[in-house]
Amino acid sequence: MHFKNGILYLLLATAIFSCSEKNGSEKTATSSVVTESEKLKFRIDTLTNELENPWGIAFLPDGRILVTERKGEIRIIQDGKLLAEKIENVPAVYAHGQGGLLDIIAHPDYATNGWIYFSYAKPGEGGGGTTIVRAKLNGNALTDVQELFTAQPYADSEVHFGSRIVFDGNGHIFFSCGERGTKENAQNLGNHLGKILRLNEDGSVPNDNPFVATAGAKPEIWSYGHRNPQGLVYNKTTGELWNVEHGPKGGDELNKVEKGKNYGWPVITYGTNYDGTPITDITAKEGMEQPVWYWVPSIATCGMAQVTSDKYPGWKNNFLVGALAQTHIARVEVENGKYIKHERILEKIGRVRMIAQSPDGYLYIATESPGMVLKINPAE
């Protein structure tokens, strides 16, 4: 049977889990329901539904999947089930509002160097700041923890921390930081807030970053004029960096992020204040980039993946974008940097926080309310 509505899947998953074992040892729930999207038929496997605000997903060569929970814990999925044991020695987090433990990613050469990178809101004088750390694993404990970066200034705001991390395969990491709810930060090169940033993998600043020689500018900045970027993808084949970021009421954006460019927030936007009053009277301005696509009303764009795997031929090179508020995934087709169309899939699946493609080419989803990790399997 074919079903286009994810509601039926949720009912099925609930029924399966009502019979499953608890306390971190539940059986993997495999849905027999085939979902038929425009270009692909697929099934969903539910690895767990017992997480609390899962945020990031990392894949290790031994098959383990690490999942961050915003409250400050790193959970382990092994052999298709959530373990009761957790990763130890995680730094204390600023767990306020949207802040806490955020993204996690294994270095592309993890099998050789053992580095895991993660982002979190670090508590400090004045509130919290988006921080990038790398560490190694000794058993199930973090060791050799190295703080590479903390966004300045700290702020007591509980919103707009970012933050995703990607590698470019050329010795650099890109990561995002929101403007912490103060719009003007995004246009100010003198702070890190509302920016996409770029570092060498050891935390040093690349000498070819665009604002290294600009007086008063933070040298880590790659691009600016961002509101709250919570999705980031680097395509190593094309060398393109893409992001999705939250608009206010309306104006969520998909952007092709390029060196030194200004993405306009809050001078230009397709959104309004939450009470409906205008933020600005313009949506375009010379010297400011237009989004490749924008959503009105907002879907609350979050984690994203670009499908490079051959396992999903109908979706090849498409972006899959998580929707928090509208609880679905947007499949977005882009050709030659231009928006073509998008499709809503897995309606009502939950607040989609992250979508990640594993090294073996499969797609995984992390959702909130309920806190699940799901795997998308193509249907034959």
Residues labelled catalytic:
160
Using CA atoms, how far apart are residues 144 and 290, in angstroms rounded to an integer?
Answer: 42
Helix (H) / strand (E) containing 195: strand 195-200
d(CA 110, CA 103): 17
Tokens matching residue 328: 């679905």
Token pair of 352 as six digits: 């989609």
Residue 248 and residue 300 in contact, taking contact as beta carbons nearer than 8 Å: no
Whole-number Å distance between alpha carbons of 229 and 253: 9
Strand bridging mode 41-51 / 34-36: antiparallel
- CA gap 59, 366 in Å, rounded: 13
What is the rounded distance in angstroms from the CA atom of residue 187 to the CA atom of residue 192? 10
Task: Render 64-89 in DSSP notation, one character per residue.
Answer: -EEEEETTTEEEEEETTEEEEEE-B-
User: For 334, phi and psi rounded to 5 degrees?
Assistant: -130, 135
- Looking only at the bridges linking them, the beta strands covering 252-257 and 240-245 are antiparallel
d(CA 212, CA 208): 7
Q: What secondary structure letter does DSSP report for 16?
A: H
Tokens of 137: 């694993």
Cβ(276)–Cβ(249) under 8 Å? yes
- State both tokens at 59: 């894949």
Strands 2-3 and 81-86: unpaired
Residue 102 CB-density burial (10 A; 0-12 exposed, 13-18 middle, 19+ buried) = buried
